[in-house]
Chain A
Amino acid sequence: MKKLILALTAAAGLVSFSTAQAQTATYTLDPTHTFVTWEALHFGTSTSRGRFDKKEGKIEIDRAAKTGKVDITIDMASISTGVAPFDNHLKGKDFFDVTTHPTARFQANGFSFDGTKVSAVQGTLTMLGKTQPVELKASRFNCYDNPFFKREVCGGDFEVTIQRSQWGSTHGLPAIPDNIRLLVQVEAIKQ
């Protein structure tokens, strides 16, 4: 199923690349500088953190027309907290149920700009088989000429706090909080 999604995403990428207008730049995710880190408050005391290590995706941005598109797929089994029993619990039926729902997907075509910088991205997050709207707000955004790739790289830091119950994730509520903060580092390389 994951391979199918990735194949479809890749095929869609080829189509949109060939039909893209002159001003629309297509960027491929730099997986070494793209991570989703989540934060959850533990008994009102301290913040537990984890991240997802495997992801793929594509971004289109037209900074003149102030439009864009995002499609990122996350491998939910790649969750990492540093504590193996915690990872296994999170992958199980109580939480992400990765056997049934191996991926999560963020798709967006609502882009807000502040000048030439992306300030927010509105789209949907599909997780646990449910699709809900989310808005990622940029805490910074920048484009630069990357000396290693010898290409333009655009990226930034984005964040959103979601209510996991909206995706049907209710295990442990309210001791395990509903609010989960997502911190998204993203960089993408111009194609």
Chain B
Amino acid sequence: MKMPFSLPFSLPFVLSGLLCSSLAQAQPLQYVLDPERSWVQFEVLHFNTSTIRGRIGPVNGSVLLDAAAGSGDVRLAVRTATVSTGLGFFDARLRQDDLLASEAFPEAYFVATRLTFIQGRVATLRGEFTWRGVSQPLQLTALRYACRLDDSTALPAEVCGGDFEGEVLRSEHGANFGLPLVGNRVRLLVQVEGRRPIPAPHVKTP
């Protein structure tokens, strides 16, 4: 192929074009979750006094986004036995049948097929949250969302992700132990980043 003497566009423009291809393309794009940056943190109020926090993850799943069409398909799952509060005995207690029920129902999962976008960015995910075998509607709302080009490795990728927030009433899933001294409202803070390899040829500075 004959190279032009001057590039028609500046390099940053080309790169940003690749980055924004999710806006221009009509077909859904698939993102692979980064296990180091995809976690659920939960918050529950203890005796109306202080907030108990714990971590569950990493989040597994599949993410398909079509920003141009304003649609997508997001399926996220966590193994609840991975719960980590910093206290081993508390983690073991949480895994029991009257709370996370990790043995009978190893995974909690969220399937969202109703997405909204604001200026090409994912804004809300609406779907069903299944935990302890009970499915309830859940909305996760983006507190922030951004995409960037990661060309720091040999496999350049578009990385998109954000912070999402949702709320579950644990009594609606039958996890009633400790009510009402330990709160019914469980706030979910979901950190998520997904990678989409950018197809060759990828333009990179020498």
Measured CB to CB, the residues of A under 8 A from B are 32-33, 35, 37, 42-49, 51, 53, 80, 82-83, 86, 140-144, 146, 153-157, 183, 185-187
Q: B49 touching A43 by the CB < 8 A rule?
A: no
User: What residues of chain A lie closer than 8 Å to B58, measured between beta carbons?
Assistant: 82
Q: Are A186 and B193 touching (Cβ within 8 A)?
A: no
Describe A's contact surface by its main secondary structure.
strand
Interface range on chain B (Cβ under 8 Å from partner): 20 to 34
16 A-B contacts (beta carbon < 8 Å): A35-B53, A42-B37, A42-B193, A44-B146, A45-B147, A46-B37, A46-B144, A46-B161, A49-B189, A140-B49, A154-B49, A155-B49, A156-B50, A157-B50, A183-B51, A187-B49
List the A side residues contacting B53 at CB < 8 Å. Answer: 35, 37, 51, 183, 185
Residues of B within 8 A of A53 (CB): 86-87
| Residues in A neighbouring B115, C-beta threshold 8 A | none
Minimum Cβ distance to chain A for residue B148 (Å): 6
On chain A, the residues within 8 Å of B148 by CB distance are 43-45
Measured CA separation A69–B30 after assembly (Å): 53
A33 and B41 contact, Cβ closer than 8 Å, known pairs A44-B146, A83-B36: no
Q: Type the 1/0 row for B62-98, where 1 means its CB is closer than 8 Å to any CB of A.
A: 0000000000000000000000101100100000000
Is the C-beta of B39 less than 8 angstroms from some C-beta in chain A?
yes
Other than the known A46-B144, A185-B52, what 17 A-B pairs have Cβ atoms closer than 8 Å?
A32-B87, A44-B146, A45-B147, A45-B161, A45-B193, A46-B161, A46-B162, A47-B163, A49-B55, A49-B191, A53-B86, A80-B84, A82-B57, A83-B35, A142-B49, A146-B47, A156-B50
**Is there a chain A Cβ closer than 8 Å to B140's Cβ?**
no
Q: Which of A43, A46, A51, A82 has the most CB of B within 10 A?
A: A46
Contact, CB under 8 Å: A32 / B90: yes
Seen from chain B, the residues whose Cβ lies within 8 Å of a Cβ on chain A are: 35-37, 39, 41, 46-53, 55, 57-58, 84, 86-87, 90, 144-148, 159-163, 189, 191-193
Q: How far is the CB of B78 from chain A (nearest CB, A)?
A: 11
A48 touches B50 (CB 8 A): no
A170, chain B: closest CB distance, angstroms: 20
In the bound complex, how far is the Cα of B57 from the Cα of A82, in angstroms? 8
Which DSSP category, helix, strand, loop or mixed, fits chain B's interface? strand
Do residues B191 and A155 form an inter-chain contact, with CB atoms below 8 A? Answer: no
Q: Evaluate contact between A33 and B46: CB separation under 8 angstroms.
A: yes
Query: Nearest chain A CB to B52's CB is how many angstroms away?
Result: 7
Which B residue sits closest to A184, measured CB to CB? B50
Q: Name B49's contact: one of A46, A48, A153, A183 (CB within 8 Å).
A: A153
Chain A residues, CB < 8 A from B144? 44-46
**Given the complex, which residues of B lie within 8 Å of A157, measured CB to CB?**
50-51
A164 to chain B, nearest CB (A): 20
Q: How far, in angstroms, from A141 to B46 measured CA to CA in the complex?
A: 12
Contact of B47 among A44, A45, A86, A153 (CB under 8 A): A153
Q: Is the CB of B55 within 8 A of A187?
A: no
